Amino acid sequence: MVKIRLTRIGKTNSPYYRVVVIDSRKARDGDYLENVGHYDPRKKEFKLKRDRIEYWVSKGAQLTNTVARLYSKEGGQT
């Protein structure tokens, strides 16, 4: 199953995340299919590629709870 979830790329005590499309069986920081955004929890800013997320959801991908919350804040509907 394909999921849209966060993968951590920040330093110690300075988290920063990519929003990626990845097979659910892969490790959190494993190889992903596509990068569809980013999220900085310290600055409370994020950017999502809504068209690509909608494409992957139409193909059967599922959003994790955190990504679904960010997506709805940006105006998307899950």
Task: Locate the domains of the chain by residue range.
Answer: 2-73
- The fold adopted by the segment(s) 2-73 is S16 Ribosomal Protein; Chain: A; (3.30.1320)
Decide: 53 and 47 in contact? Cβ < 8 Å.
Answer: no
Average confidence (pLDDT) over 59-72 = 94
Residue from 9, 18, 23, 17 nearest 56 by CA: 23
pLDDT of 55 > 80? The answer is yes
- Report pLDDT for 78: 57
pLDDT value at residue 29 = 87
Q: What is the pLDDT of residues 8-48, one digit of tens each?
A: 998 999 999 999 999 999 998 889 999 999 999 999 899 99
- DSSP states along 27-50: -TTS--SEEEEEEETTTTEEEE-H
